[in-house]
Amino acid sequence: MNRRNFVKMGALGAAAGVSVVPSRVLGKSLGHVAPRDKVNLACIGIGNRGGEITRALHATGLANIVAFCDVDMGAPHTQAVLKQFPDVPRFQDFREMFDKMGSKIEAVSVGTPDFSHFPITMLAMSLGKHVYVEKPMARTFKEVELMMKGAEKYKVATQMGNQGHSDANYFQFKAWTEAGIIKDVTSITAHMNSRRRWHDWDPKMTSYPAKQPIPDTLDWDLWLMTAQPHDYQKDFVNGQWRCWYDFGMGTLGDWGAHIIDTAHQFLNLGLPYEIDPVYLESHNPFFFPMSTTLSFKFPERGNMPPLEIKWFDGLTNIPAVPAGYGVSELDPNIPPPSNGTMQPAKLNPGKIIYGKDLTFKGGSHGSTLSIIPADKAKDMASKLPEVLASPSNHFANFLKGCKGEEKCRSSFDIAGPLSQVFSLGVLAQRLNTKLLFDRETQRITNNPLANFLLEGATPRKGWEEYYLL
């Protein structure tokens, strides 16, 4: 059965309440895949970050790269990968790749813009392919929900690309929560205050930038996939898509997974009940604010108290830090907060975790936590549990998950709710309003437009079928 027939049958079956599963998936579940030396891998998106993912997966020694796909195949940013692997078959359309090479592909990597993760991932899973997808999982709340259900339905290995889930931060946070070192957390400050691509743009713009000629190497219609129609513009592609609400997830979607991920998992946060854009500098309807402070409130979870995460981004939107945080450069142009705590001019991306008895500071990705102040850390040194070393990096963990040798540490059931937190945060940014979210019904109860945008606008004609897989 080729892809087009499968998609058609899947859509008809979904409409009738019937599940259509590829025959190669029947009788197979994750953990019972016949062991093989290497996984036959197709890489979708091979430039920029996608190229880094491709090379990292290959470097594990666990993958045979059998196909490349990129909507801008042959563009300058794809050349490094193409030169490294000159004999790998190349495609511009992922659908054609699956039609022609589906039987030779066991897994795919998806290193494309945020908004295009969904259709590629859904088709791959429906054809029984394991999927590694860059963070965040998708742009809308509903798309993430469908991806989680798809992974469960098709019994494939899945991994979202937040590498800290396979580094020291993951294993330390796990060990410290299990040992009761991290407990009774009521507040987390998360911060990423580096320059972003849109910081020099004009927030008073009244329309999208003017149409430009489409590069010869680019299939612009295919690049758009499910997104709403736009004319080509250089500031929509090659990473610039992160800037726009229509395509990306801003600083929160880009860095949130690297900063909040382990706290979200091991403190069992799930979804917030309130999302409040406390501060948005230069809010506009097109691209993300120059600075943002977002408040996410989570309820009690078992014996864990309610918790608030405050997210800070923007060059001057620096959070206050507690006494004993450590040496930080002071900027006289930034007034100190009224509570007298130290105000650093710049913080590296990271987090501060406030528990009842202990306070922790940490960075992003795989960097570990430390207890502050230093004298408290010294007192606690003998009480800290042993932290296991990672058995595999994030890419090897995925490929071993494909072979049933390890469980993927950032599988969609883990990464999905985290990605949905980011979707809710971006909605609050975009609409510049507080959102009340019902965790049981998964509906926004105080804003009909925001509730509609959980699903997003109707996909472009021809792309509806991916929402029925």
Residue 49 forms part of a structural domain: no
Half-sphere exposure of 439 (CA within 13 A, CB side): 15
174 within domain boundaries: yes
Nearby residues of 24 by Cβ (< 8 Å), 6 or more positions away:
128
Q: What 3-state class would DSSP assign to 211?
A: coil
Number of domains, the chain? 1
- The helix (run of H) or strand (run of E) holding residue 141 is helix 141-154
pLDDT at 457: 84
| Distance (Å, whole) CA 420 – CA 255 | 14
- Taking the C-alpha atoms of residue 122 and residue 436, their distance in angstroms, rounded to an integer, is 29
- 223 in Cβ contact with 237 (< 8 Å): yes
Angle between helix 250-266 and helix 412-431 axes, rounded to 10 deg = 140
- The answer to whether position 396 is within a domain reads no
In angstroms, the CA 424 to CA 405 distance is 35
Q: Any idea what the CATH number is for the domain that residue 192 is in?
A: 3.30.360
Picking from 36, 43, 82, the residue whose alpha carbon sits closest to that of residue 65 is 43
CA 384, 389, 393 angle in degrees (round to 5)?
Answer: 140
Residues 149 and 14: their CA atoms lie apart, in Å, by 13
Residue 115's closest CA among 256, 233, 226?
226
Instruction: Using the structure block, give the residue that is written with the tokens 């998609």.
Output: 7
Residues of the chain with pLDDT under 70: 1-36, 327-346
**Residue 415 burial class via C-beta count within 10 angstroms: exposed 0-12, middle 13-18, buried 19 and up:** buried
pLDDT value for 33: 37
β-bridge partners, 457: none
Q: Quick one: 265 exposed, middle or buried, by C-beta within 10 A (0-12, 13-18, 19+)?
A: buried
Confidence (pLDDT) at 343 = 55
- For residue 76, whether the previous peptide bond is cis, meaning omega lies within 30 degrees of 0, is no
Environment class of 87 (CB within 10 Å of its CB; exposed 0-12, middle 13-18, buried 19+): exposed
Residue 379 lies in a domain: yes
Domain membership flag for residue 345? yes
pLDDT digits (tens, 9 = 90+) for 72-92: 999 999 999 999 999 999 999
Which residues lie across from 296 on neighbouring strands?
275, 309
Give the integer Cα–Cα distance in Å for 35 and 434. Answer: 50
HSE toward the beta carbon, residue 448, CA cutoff 13 A: 0
Task: Residue 311: give the domain boundaries.
Answer: 170-198+262-389
Can you tell me which residue has the tokens 């809710």? 424
Output the six-digit token pair for 377: 């850390």
Burial 46-81 (b: 16+ CB within 10 A, else e): bbbebbbbbbbbbebebbebbbbbbbbbebebbeeb
Helix (H, G, I), strand (E, B) or coil at 446: coil
- Evaluate whether residue 409 is within a structural domain: no
Q: Is residue 194 part of a domain?
A: yes
- Residue 458's pLDDT is 87
Cα 216 to Cα 466: distance, rounded to the nearest angstrom: 28
Q: Is the pTM of the predicted complex or chain greater than 0.85? A: yes
Residue pLDDT, tens place only, 392-427: 999 999 999 999 999 999 999 999 999 999 999 999
User: Is 162 domain-assigned?
Assistant: no
